[in-house]
Chains A and B, each alone.
Chain A
Amino acid sequence: MKSLLLLLAALPAAALAQVQLNGAGATFPNIIYSDWMLTYNQAHPDVKLNYQSIGSGGGIRQFSDGTVDFGASDAPMTDSAIAAIGGNALHIPTVMGAVVIIYNLQGVSQAVKFTPDVLADIFLGKITKWNDARLASGNSGVTLPASDIVVVHRADGSGTSFAFTDYLAKVSPEWQQKVGKGTSVNWPVGLGGRGSEGVSATVSQTPGAIGYVELAYATTNKIQYGTLRNSSGNWITPSLAAVTAAAAGAMKDMGPNTDFRVSVTNSSGAQAYPISTFTWLLVHKSYSDTVKARALVQFIWWAESDGQAKAPQLGYAPLPRELHPWIEARLKSIKAAGRSVL
């Protein structure tokens, strides 16, 4: 009787209680995040989600400043950035993307093949002609022109650049030592394009150009891209399945206690596409507002389970199923007012 009364008292309050969750960050997952939030809100009208795609760096900053309830980033936070907010940050991978190599070669219809060292040396400015012997030896049967290679990279800070330079740093000691990895780096050669559209427009208008964009961007705009040799020695054409395979291949290096801030570039999976990357939601380990925290964690869990089905049709690679127990464990560790919220 008493509990019934309590329930009756609680009902109208629950119906009125609107939870507003604000997030900001990476532009790459914006399409699927918006879709998830819209779909989730239809099933849960009391939870209003708002996401602003201001870029990964901005997302990390707003998340760290506490101006948003959750952040999103294509590049993980650094140790010092996490330490700066007292370690109160968790990285939850949501979907995956890949970086593909695009080029402008008139009369070459087959996909050009790049080995890791050739790709690194092109972006280091050491291979400067398309008919270079090392490039040609990987592309038997394809006549590459004698023209100059014009490198095009992102001029703005970008998670795409992070994944690409992270890969180059792994496969080339010289790149690691001279350039390193980051959302912006000191490019040894090349022209800078603003945004994916800037890079692809410059590549498309410059004979002999080579650049890199997101896989989803290349497929929606029907841009031809190259094939890469992965760490197992297989030639891999970029595809969503090959991207998911990269995460599956990287799982044994991660281990179940991972904080998910791992790079899955140059993954060891046999069918893994080498320049694959997670995109992460940034959440706090502990929240002060229980209602908000519970709504947020429930939304994320929905995105990780039911939401994944939507990924391929929107151009994103879903996470491997095997990863889900690990993510669930991490979501369960999120606390509000000292208690687990899930």
Chain B
Amino acid sequence: MTSLPVERLARPQSLHATDRSDRIYRRVLTGFALGLPLLILIILGVLFTGALPALKRFGPTFLWTSTWDPVAEIYGAAPMIFGTLASSVLALLIAVPLALSVAIFLTEFSPGWLRQPVAFLVELLAAIPSVVYGTWGIFVLIPFLRAHVVPPLKAVLGWTPFLQGVFYGNSLLAGGVILAIMIVPYIAAVSREVLLAVPASQREAALAMGATRWEAVRSAVLPYGRAGLIGAVILGLGRALGETMAVTMLIGNRHDIGVSLLQPAYTMAAAIANEFSEATTNLYQSALFEVGLILFVLTVAVNAIARVLIWRVARGQAVGSRAL
């Protein structure tokens, strides 16, 4: 007897279960919602079919051989896989401290009148087309690195394997730095939102315990938002892995593996962009499809790892975890 009103309260939509427009609406939404995962599967399928000749011809050796010879039709993607990961990691190493500093400054330390202009300008960096970054990189960044960054770096860390060889300009270092600049706005913007969402009570509690501003940020604000901050970093990493134009203009486009940051390298996205339109033989085209497939799988894997990381860190209570 009494169960009926309770049930109605719990499931108010059942009132309109028979409404026709509601059903259509639901089906359209379901269709759209299923369409996107379906699209991903189709992309995967197309990449796989395109890559099939190369997969058959080279097998798993494609992943760890480094010859890329379109004349002899021998293809190995190891240098590109290495270059993609190395340039992205380098970009994160530079961008994460920078972007987090910007976000912490803007939310915790900046005077109120400075917040909006600085946030706006940082986010404006994301609006610059990547070809402009590339051109700027060739004409401004590389000469700057050559004159003011590489000599002191070599003087201090020249003994490490990371700074061997002569710096000609286009290199892993130049590619990584341009990537870092390009992903800073994404990481900074998301981090700022995450930090803004940390309740004031967290800071107040820390300050009331006698913490300094910095200690409050470090011990209360950052841990509270850590899931969201990891999400911000992963967003930046995703951008870095797939960025093409600016990187190809600066990284030197050389199918080579070297630990030195001063040497040219190659990324998967850059190679596909450069070589696809002129890949005249089927095997050549197929090898590029396989590179695309690897990049796709790598990106999905990075996002999956990130998701797991966020779940483990967040446990449902930290800021930003629901949105990610």
A156 near B277 (CB under 8 angstroms)?
Answer: yes
Question: Which of A185, A205, A209 is the one whose CB lies under 8 Å from B71?
Answer: A185
Interface residues of B in 224-258 (CB under 8 A from A): 248-249, 252-255
Alpha-carbon distance between A220 and B170 when the two chains are bound, in angstroms: 25
Whether, in the assembled complex, A190 has its beta carbon less than 8 Å from a beta carbon of chain B, the answer is yes
CB-CB under 8 A from B275, the residues of chain A are 155-157, 184
**With known contacts A191-B170, A205-B143, A58–B248 Cβ distance under 8 A:** no
Whether, in the assembled complex, A314 has its beta carbon less than 8 Å from a beta carbon of chain B, the answer is no
Alpha-carbon distance between A209 and B168 when the two chains are bound, in angstroms: 9
Residue picked from B138, B254, B280, most chain A C-beta under 10 Å: B280
Q: Which residue of A lies closest to B277 (CB)?
A: A55
Whether, in the assembled complex, A290 has its beta carbon less than 8 Å from a beta carbon of chain B, the answer is no
Alpha-carbon distance between A61 and B274 when the two chains are bound, in angstroms: 17
CB-CB under 8 A from B138, the residues of chain A are 201-202, 205
Alpha-carbon distance between A187 and B70 when the two chains are bound, in angstroms: 10
**With known contacts A190-B254, A194-B248, A205-B169, A157–B278 Cβ distance under 8 A:** yes
Whether, in the assembled complex, B195 has its beta carbon less than 8 Å from a beta carbon of chain A, the answer is no
CB-CB under 8 A from B284, the residues of chain A are 184
What's the minimum C-beta distance from A88 to chain B, rounded to whole angstroms?
A: 18
B170 near A202 (CB under 8 angstroms)?
Answer: yes
Q: Which residue of B lies closest to A150 (CB)?
A: B168
Whether, in the assembled complex, B264 has its beta carbon less than 8 Å from a beta carbon of chain A, the answer is yes
A57 near B278 (CB under 8 angstroms)?
Answer: yes
Question: Which of B67, B168, B170, B278 is the one whose CB lies under 8 Å from A56?
Answer: B278
Q: How many A-B residue pairs have CB under 8 A?
A: 98
What's the minimum C-beta distance from B279 to chain A, rounded to whole angstroms?
A: 6
CB-CB under 8 A from B274, the residues of chain A are 155-157, 192, 194
Whether, in the assembled complex, A34 has its beta carbon less than 8 Å from a beta carbon of chain B, the answer is no
Question: Which of A55, A155, A180, A186 is the one whose CB lies under 8 Å from B253?
Answer: A155
A194 near B249 (CB under 8 angstroms)?
Answer: yes
Alpha-carbon distance between A110 and B214 when the two chains are bound, in angstroms: 62
Alpha-carbon distance between A200 and B64 when the two chains are bound, in angstroms: 33
Residue picked from B166, B249, B266, B270, most chain A C-beta under 10 Å: B249
**With known contacts A148-B166, A155-B248, A191–B253 Cβ distance under 8 A:** yes
What's the minimum C-beta distance from A75 to chain B, rounded to whole angstroms?
A: 8
What's the minimum C-beta distance from B73 to chain A, rounded to whole angstroms?
A: 10
Alpha-carbon distance between A194 and B166 when the two chains are bound, in angstroms: 22
**With known contacts A157-B278, A193-B253, A182–B71 Cβ distance under 8 A:** yes
Alpha-carbon distance between A181 and B70 when the two chains are bound, in angstroms: 10
User: Residue-by-residue, is A75-104 near B (CB-CB < 8 Å gives 1, otherwise 0)?
Assistant: 000100100000000000000000000000
Chain A at the B interface: mostly helix, strand, loop or mixed? loop
- Name the interface size band of chain B: 20 to 34
B280 near A60 (CB under 8 angstroms)?
Answer: yes
Whether, in the assembled complex, A179 has its beta carbon less than 8 Å from a beta carbon of chain B, the answer is yes
Alpha-carbon distance between A57 and B70 when the two chains are bound, in angstroms: 13
Question: Which of A57, A179, A181, A202 is the one whose CB lies under 8 Å from B279?
Answer: A57
CB-CB under 8 A from A191, the residues of chain B are 168-170, 252-254, 264
CB-CB under 8 A from B166, the residues of chain A are 148
A194 near B253 (CB under 8 angstroms)?
Answer: yes
B169 near A192 (CB under 8 angstroms)?
Answer: no
CB-CB under 8 A from A54, the residues of chain B are 277
User: Residue-by-residue, is A37-69 near B (CB-CB < 8 Å gives 1, otherwise 0)?
Assistant: 000000000000000001111101100000000
What's the minimum C-beta distance from B169 to chain A, rounded to whole angstroms?
A: 5
Q: Which residue of B lies closest to A186 (CB)?
A: B69
CB-CB under 8 A from B186, the residues of chain A are none
Alpha-carbon distance between A54 and B266 when the two chains are bound, in angstroms: 23
Whether, in the assembled complex, A231 has its beta carbon less than 8 Å from a beta carbon of chain B, the answer is no
Whether, in the assembled complex, A131 has its beta carbon less than 8 Å from a beta carbon of chain B, the answer is no
CB-CB under 8 A from A60, the residues of chain B are 280
A186 near B71 (CB under 8 angstroms)?
Answer: yes
What's the minimum C-beta distance from A134 to chain B, rounded to whole angstroms?
A: 22
**With known contacts A157-B274, A191-B252, A194-B249, A180–B280 Cβ distance under 8 A:** no
What's the minimum C-beta distance from B251 to chain A, rounded to whole angstroms?
A: 9
Whether, in the assembled complex, A227 has its beta carbon less than 8 Å from a beta carbon of chain B, the answer is no
Alpha-carbon distance between A326 and B249 when the two chains are bound, in angstroms: 43
What's the minimum C-beta distance from B265 to chain A, rounded to whole angstroms?
A: 10
CB-CB under 8 A from A56, the residues of chain B are 278
Whether, in the assembled complex, B133 has its beta carbon less than 8 Å from a beta carbon of chain A, the answer is no
What's the minimum C-beta distance from A2 to chain B, rounded to whole angstroms?
A: 54
What's the minimum C-beta distance from B304 to chain A, rounded to whole angstroms?
A: 32
CB-CB under 8 A from B270, the residues of chain A are 155
Whether, in the assembled complex, B188 has its beta carbon less than 8 Å from a beta carbon of chain A, the answer is no
Q: Which residue of B lies closest to A156 (CB)?
A: B274
What's the minimum C-beta distance from B245 to chain A, rounded to whole angstroms?
A: 8
Whether, in the assembled complex, A271 has its beta carbon less than 8 Å from a beta carbon of chain B, the answer is no
Question: Which of B67, B69, B277 is the one whose CB lies under 8 Å from A58?
Answer: B277
B279 near A157 (CB under 8 angstroms)?
Answer: yes
Whether, in the assembled complex, B114 has its beta carbon less than 8 Å from a beta carbon of chain A, the answer is no
Q: Which residue of A lies closest to B250 (CB)?
A: A202
CB-CB under 8 A from B253, the residues of chain A are 155, 191-194
Q: Which residue of B lies closest to A165 (CB)?
A: B71
Alpha-carbon distance between A179 and B70 when the two chains are bound, in angstroms: 10
Q: Beyond the given A155-B275, A183-B70, A206-B168, could you list 13 further A-B residue pairs with CB under 8 A, ordered by the A residue number?
A: A148-B166, A155-B270, A156-B277, A157-B280, A180-B71, A182-B71, A184-B279, A186-B70, A186-B72, A190-B254, A191-B170, A194-B253, A205-B138
Listed A/B pairs (26) with beta-carbon separation below 8 Å: A57-B278, A57-B280, A61-B280, A81-B280, A155-B248, A155-B275, A157-B277, A157-B279, A184-B275, A184-B279, A184-B284, A185-B71, A186-B67, A186-B72, A191-B169, A191-B253, A193-B170, A193-B249, A193-B253, A194-B248, A194-B249, A201-B138, A202-B169, A205-B143, A206-B168, A209-B168
The 3 closest A-B pairs by CB, nearest first: A157-B278, A192-B253, A155-B253
